[in-house]
Structure 1
Amino acid sequence: MLNLANNNFKGTIPDVFPSGCQLKALDLHGNFIEGEIPKSLANCSELEVLDLGHNELIVTVTTKGQEMELPKILTIFTYIDLSRNNFHGLIPAELGQLQALYILNLSCNALTGQIPPSLGNLKNLESLDLSWNNLRGRIPTQLQSLNFLSFLSLSFNQLVGMIPTGNQLQTFSADSHIGNEGLSGFLLTKNCSDKVADPKEDNHSNSGRKIDWTLLIAEIGLLTGIAVVVLPLVFSRRWRIRYYKCVDDIIIEIFPLAVSRKWFLWTAI
């Protein structure tokens, strides 16, 4: 076990791990380490604990959304915490080969691409945190096979499509997926179809709208009727006289004579 946590180490991790390395725990969090993870670390085939956390931790590990203190590193507690660094690029699909992994925390980085479907091979995984990255695409349905998963955070990425609904994935709240505008499903208030919007379709969305001919014909008929009645009244004096005479006859039949006289006076103005 090599524990160099909570120091002021700077620079890179030396690429000096020998073949047949028997290191089981490497704890370097709480430093100012930069650069890449050395490839020779792959020689440590018995490595169970790797903590390269955000280099400003206080002897804590972020797991299942909470920080907990580890008074000592347990060999049965297998986890990888690479959170709060500046890692770029894709999540390696080779992570799916770490069958004994219990906790994987890659949050608060600049990772891109899709979530590797190979993560569904981590049958013992209990905590998966990929939040606050730039991950794209759909959530792999292979994650449905993670039967022991008790914490999941995929929030604040650029994921799209329907949220898988199998097994453990149904037990998580919407907080596990917030910050992904393109996601939809039973966990979110937005209930979209499984089809991901195509920008080309949006550009031509107006062209695909159907015309309601019934409504259009009714509107044309209304405008035509108004034109037939109003235009003659405005432009034809003879039509106005005949119109007023018809109205007078109707009023005389309905209202008393006194009211009719008032109507005559009003129309004569």
Structure 2
Amino acid sequence: MNLHLSNNKIHREIPKCFNNVGNGSLETLDLSHNNLTSAEHLSMRNFYFLDLSFNMLQGDLPIPSFSIHFFLVPNNKLSGHISSSFCNASSLEILNLSHNNLSGHIPKCLVTLPYLKTLDLQMNKFVGTIPSNFSQGNSLQSLHLRNNQFEGRLPLSLTHCKQLQILDVGANKIRGEFPNFLEALSELQVLILRENKFYSAIYRSNTNHPFSELRIFDVSNNHFSGSLLATYFKEFKGMINVDYVASGLNYMENKGFYESVKVTLKGYEVELVRIITTFTTIDLSNDMFDGEIPQVMGELNSLKGLDLSHNKIIGPIPQSLANVTNLECLNKLTGEIPPELANLNFLEVLNLLENKLVGAIPRGKQFDTFSCDSYEGNLGLCGSPSSKACNQDEGKLPQPSSSTNDKLGSGWKPVALGYGCGMVFGMFMGRVAFSIGKPLWLIRIFEGRPKKQAKRTRKTTVPNHRRMT
């Protein structure tokens, strides 16, 4: 028997009468989006599906029955630990305990459940290390551990999760080198390592076609260093030639439940409560990467977000990025701004602050919508919307001159220099003379007084010139 009572105004405790509905044959109960504060009197004996999400449940976490398949209690105020009794629920497929106040360690037996497809523990206060005993042949497709206090390293046993599509361990205290052993997960589409303590360069193993399905790659706010690995980006086939028409407006889901992750999108940190299957982004910000931006990034023509800000990246912006026609967010790159980028019709966010960019700011299409705030701190840029006008050769490096130019240069450059200096000196002396009121010495010079007198007069005026200077 099924009973759906979501989005009502049921409050306080769950009525005891639910235990007698259908003479105890109630298998599906949906009480989500209400104002319940306690599940104390609810019997868990026969439930196949139980959804208590988005209530105000307090106290300890209810323990589901061994026969339950779907147990959902996210977005409540539950506290305490996960009891080892959860491991008796060997039929569990979806376990969502996210957005509560749960703490303690994860029972190791939890990651050995054979049918578990989604384990969502994000936004709690769990501590310790991630269990290292993921079983071979498990069914796990999504693992959400974001915003807890996990420490240690990512376990190598994650390679047993051959069906894993989403791995989100962001905002913890996990450390270690880049986990390139995850290349073995051929179904992986979302990899989020942001806000941890990872370090060293990102390097690949000997796996053929690593991360070929990856669409969200976020390693921001760590201590990764070294150059950007072009061989990795070249393998991100999930970001190339996406057919938006054929894909339609579809979302990543598991057994009918939408997956959610948190990303930085268009300069803001947002939680995607539904991940559209065509969404692609790379976030490498706030690390220690150096070197140049690989040209191969221009091959990721379905990329929507690219953030390389707050690194040590140098060199020009690759012209190949003009091929990324669906790009909506481009943050903080270095070098010159290729005019071809003006053809990015979908570009909505541009952040090039505090770099050493030079030359003219491209005009046309989306670039005409960006204010001067997008370019602050780049003294070498010119043209609208900046206040600096562009000369004809603005931003160009000096070219070696030929022998003919050298000969011409030896003639006109001293003349121009002398003319400029003479004009400045003349204006200055004129100001000095007329400020005295009676420039008689100057009149005598031009009236034809002897040179000796003129020299003597200049000697007496030089000290005055120095004092005024």
Greater mean deviation of Cα atoms: 74-83 or 32-41: 32-41
Instruction: State how 1:1-269 maps to structure 2 within 5 Å.
Output: 1-18=166-183, 21-40=186-205, 43-55=210-222, 60-71=262-273, 73-130=275-332, 135-136=334-335, 138-195=336-393, 196=395, 207=414, 208-209=416-417, 211=419, 225-227=443-445
Listed one character per residue, the Cα deviations across residues 67-122 of structure 1 (whole Å, up to 9, x for unaligned) are 22234544332111111111111111111111221100111111001111111110
| Cα contact 1:20–1:45 (8 A) shared by 2 | no
| Cα distance change on mapping 1:200 and 1:100 into 2, 3 Å | closer
The structure with the larger Rg is: 1
Residue 39 (structure 1) shift: 2.3
Give, in angstroms, the shift of residue 36 of structure 1.
Answer: 2.0
Per mean C-alpha deviation after superposition, the further-off stretch among 32-41 and 222-231 is 222-231
**Preserved CA contact (<8 Å) 1:161 1:194:** no
Q: Does the CA contact (< 8 Å) of 2:307 and 2:330 recur in 1? A: yes
Amino acid at match of 1:51: D
What is the match of residue 230 of structure 2? none
Unaligned runs of 5+ in 1: 236-269
Partner Cα separation in structure 2 for residue 79 and residue 119 of structure 1: 14
Measured after TM superposition, the shift of residue 35 of structure 1 is 1.4
Q: Measure, in 1, the Cα distance between the counterparts of 2:214 and 2:399.
A: 49
Q: Secondary structure at the match of 1:62?
A: strand
Change in CA separation of 1:37 and 1:9 when aligned onto 2, cut-off 3 Å: same
Calculate the TM-score normalised by the size of structure 2. 0.42
Tell me the secondary structure at the aligned position of residue 39 of structure 1: coil
- Aligned partners of 1:214 and 1:159: how far apart in 2? 35
Contact kept? 1:14, 1:38, Cα under 8 Å:
no
In percent, how many aligned pairs have the same letter?
38
The whole-number CA distance in structure 1 between the counterparts of 2:270 and 2:185 is: 32
The alpha-carbon deviation at position 23 of structure 1 amounts to: 1.1
Structure 1 CA distance for aligned equivalents of residues 338 and 446 of structure 2: 65
More helix by share: 1
Tell me the number of residue pairs that the alignment of Structure 1 and Structure 2 aligns. 221
Question: 1:214, CA displacement in angstroms?
Answer: 10
Q: Which amino acid aligns with 1:26?
A: L
- Please provide the CA RMSD for this pair: 3.5
Q: Distance in 2 between matches of 1:209 and 1:121?
A: 47
1:13–1:72 Cα change, 3 Å:
farther
More displaced stretch, 1-10 vs 109-118: 1-10
Provide the rounded CA distance (Å) in 2 between the counterparts of 1:199 and 1:143. 25
1:12–1:34 contact (8 Å) kept in structure 2:
yes
Measured against aligned partners, the alpha-carbon deviations of 1:5-55 in whole angstroms (never above 9, x if no partner) come to 222111112322446822111111121111122324851111111111114
* Secondary structure of residue in 1 paired with 2:373: helix
- Counterpart Cα distance in 2 of 1:45 and 1:198: 41
Which structure has greater strand proportion? 2
Checking the alignment, whether the CA contact within 8 Å between 1:81 and 1:105 is kept in structure 2 is: yes
* Cα distance in structure 1, aligned partners of 2:192 and 2:368: 34
Greater relative contact order (Cα 8 A, min sep 6): structure 1 or 2? Answer: 1
Which deviates more from structure 2 when the two are superposed, residues 222-231 or residues 33-42?
222-231
Cα contact 1:162–1:194 (8 A) shared by 2: no
Is the CA contact (8 Å cut-off) linking 1:90 and 1:112 kept in structure 2?
Answer: yes
- The amino acid that maps onto 1:192 is C
Q: State the secondary structure of the residue aligned to 1:43.
A: coil
Question: 2:359, 2:396 within 8 Å by CA — same for their partners in 1?
Answer: no
Check conservation: 1:123, 1:145, Cα contact below 8 A: yes
Gaps of 5+ in 2: 1-165, 224-260, 401-409, 431-439, 454-469
